[in-house]
């Protein structure tokens, strides 16, 4: 069976080799109860997809998994991006679309945590 | 151009629709300076790929991106998994392979943070 087909139970190896830089961002909203603010930020993060060095983007909100001590569910919006290399990530950071996103949306969040990983 | 080809600048939509549950885990090592401990944990997390409800898995270490206030680079190993649904994530949590992983590797970490997201 070809790698990456929906029916395969194996993890998709292609994403590992091609896009090893994984950029995880979690935003805590200034108004955590505001679905309107949350949705504005979701739309803003989605607008970043136009940046050509972003190879995959996933925009999330808190999932209703089991509450456990290790699970942090205090954030509001998540951004997950895959890049081919560190240069691609740097291009994204400096890109006018990203700078415009920060200018137009940073009033919505009070805290951001970023985790930048490279596939092991 | 077909969605998901390497040359496409568009994000891969397939991962969103099929695997909307995103499980981010960050481990802080008890011995942060031990590459041996880090590599043991990396190997342990990779062993989880055998669990059939994990549709994609990415195991990471800290990337050498720019140091910025918002970037947390104090962790040691990251685990990123995609599931088709919440049931798949629950199956993973309770799976004997996962329980075995915890039993054999939990002495390596001093802190874990989990972020569970659903695609927005």
B35 near A CB under 8 A: no
B64-B106-B53-B85 Cα dihedral, nearest 10 degrees: -80
Residue from A16, A18, A11, A15 nearest A119 by CA: A16
Closest Cβ opposite residue B58 in set A22, A52, A73: A22
Least confident interval from A3-7, A58-62, B80-84: A3-7
pLDDT at A120: 97
Contacts 24+ apart (CB under 8 A), B40-47: B40/B105, B40/B108, B41/B76, B41/B77, B41/B105, B41/B108, B41/B109, B42/A120, B42/B77, B44/B101, B44/B104, B44/B105, B44/B108, B45/B77, B45/B79, B45/B101, B47/B97, B47/B101
Closest Cβ opposite residue A9 in set B22, B52, B116: B52
pLDDT exceeds 80 at position B1: no
pLDDT exceeds 90 at position B60: yes
Show residues of chain B in contact with A115, CB under 8 Å: 24, 26, 71-73, 75, 78
pLDDT exceeds 80 at position B8: no
pLDDT at B17: 65
Please state, in angstroms and rounded to a whole number, the distance separating the CA atoms of residues A5 and A17: 17
B76, burial (CB in 10 Å: exposed 0-12, middle 13-18, buried 19+): buried
Residue range A15-45, pLDDT digits in tens: 456 899 999 999 999 999 999 999 999 999 9
A82 pairs with which residues across the strands? A22, A56
Inter-chain touch A61–B93, beta carbons under 8 Å: no
Inter-chain touch B49–A11, beta carbons under 8 Å: yes
Show residues of chain B in contact with A58, CB under 8 Å: 15-16, 22, 117, 119
A/B interface, count of CB pairs below 8 Å: 142
Distances (CA, A) of B45 to B25, B60, B98, B119: 10, 10, 9, 23
Are B4 and B14 within 8 A, CB to CB? yes
- State the pLDDT confidence band at B13, using cuts at 50, 70 and 90: very low
pLDDT exceeds 70 at position A7: no
Are A49 and A95 within 8 A, CB to CB? no
Residue from B53, B24, B29, B33 nearest B42 by CA: B29
For the whole model, what pTM was predicted? 0.87
Whether ipTM tops 0.95, in short, is no
- State the pLDDT confidence band at B10, using cuts at 50, 70 and 90: very low
Show residues of chain B in contact with A57, CB under 8 Å: 11
Length of chain B: 120
Length of chain A: 120
DSSP track, A2-59: -TT-TT--S--HHHHHH--EEEEEEEEESSTT-HHHHHHHHHHHHHGGGSTT--EEEE
Q: Minimal Cα distance from A116: which residue of B? A: B63
For residues B114 and A1, the model is more confident at B114
A59 near B CB under 8 A: yes
* % of residues, chain A, pLDDT over 70: 86
pLDDT exceeds 50 at position A9: no
């Amino acid at each position: 069976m070809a790698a990456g087909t929906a029916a395969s139970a194996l993890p998709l190896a292609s994403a590992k080799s091609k896009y090893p830089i994984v950029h995880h961002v979690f935003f805590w909203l200034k108004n955590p109860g505001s679905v309107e603010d949350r949705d504005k930020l979701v739309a803003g993060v989605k607008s970043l997809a136009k940046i050509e060095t972003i190879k995959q983007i996933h925009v999330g909100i808190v999932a209703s998994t089991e509450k456990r001590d290790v699970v942090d569910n205090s954030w509001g919006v998540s951004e997950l991006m895959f890049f081919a290399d560190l240069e691609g990530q740097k291009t994204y950071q400096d890109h006018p679309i990203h700078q415009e996103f920060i200018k137009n949306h940073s009033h919505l969040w009070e805290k951001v945590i970023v985790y930048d990983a490279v596939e092991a």
